[in-house]
Amino acid sequence: MNVNQKDYVELELLNQRLSELSQTMEFANQQLEHSAIALEMLNALTNITEGQELLVPLGGGTFATVDAKDIKNVKVVVGAGVVVEKPVLEAINYINKQAEQINIFSLETNNLYEQTVSRALKLQEKIEKEMRSK
């Protein structure tokens, strides 16, 4: 395999990596959006009294009307399908910490994406230069 073919292979691998990183960043952004919604809902719970009617979103623009019973505690997924009960303020802190970790991961992934783009552009320029010189 000559140098030019190696460059083509590397460029293809870089493009695949960029696609993977893009999907990872999109997933991280979705997780941050879900965290923001959860925090908004949890903060709203702090202003609700027991027995008050609530509209609970079910998805697809549909809601269920429910009576608030135990509003001091919520169920939180802590990983691998494990659900624990936490006080609302503890759940807010937990989600805030998760969001911080996702933000850090997102920034690191974005930096890696930018480095990969830079390498891919340099390689693309090298390939084009070699093509013009032939």
Work out the mean pLDDT of the chain and round it to a whole number.
93
Number of structural domains found in the chain: 1
pLDDT at 134 over 80: no
Query: DSSP letters of the chain?
Result: --HHHHHHHHHHHHHHHHHHHHHHHHHHHHHHHHHHHHHHHHHHHTT--TT-EEEEEEETTEEEEEE----SEEEEEEETTEEEEEEHHHHHHHHHHHHHHHHHHHHHHHHHHHHHHHHHHHHHHHHHHHHHH-
Q: CATH number for the domain including 14?
A: 1.10.287.370
Mean pLDDT over 63-89 rounds to: 92
User: Residue 57 belongs to what domain range?
Assistant: 3-133
pLDDT at 84 over 60: yes
Mean pLDDT over 61-76 rounds to: 90
Q: What is the pTM of this model?
A: 0.80
- With bands split at pLDDT 50, 70 and 90, how would you rate the model's confidence at 93? very high
- With bands split at pLDDT 50, 70 and 90, how would you rate the model's confidence at 1? low
pLDDT in tens, 2-32: 668 899 999 999 999 999 999 999 999 999 9
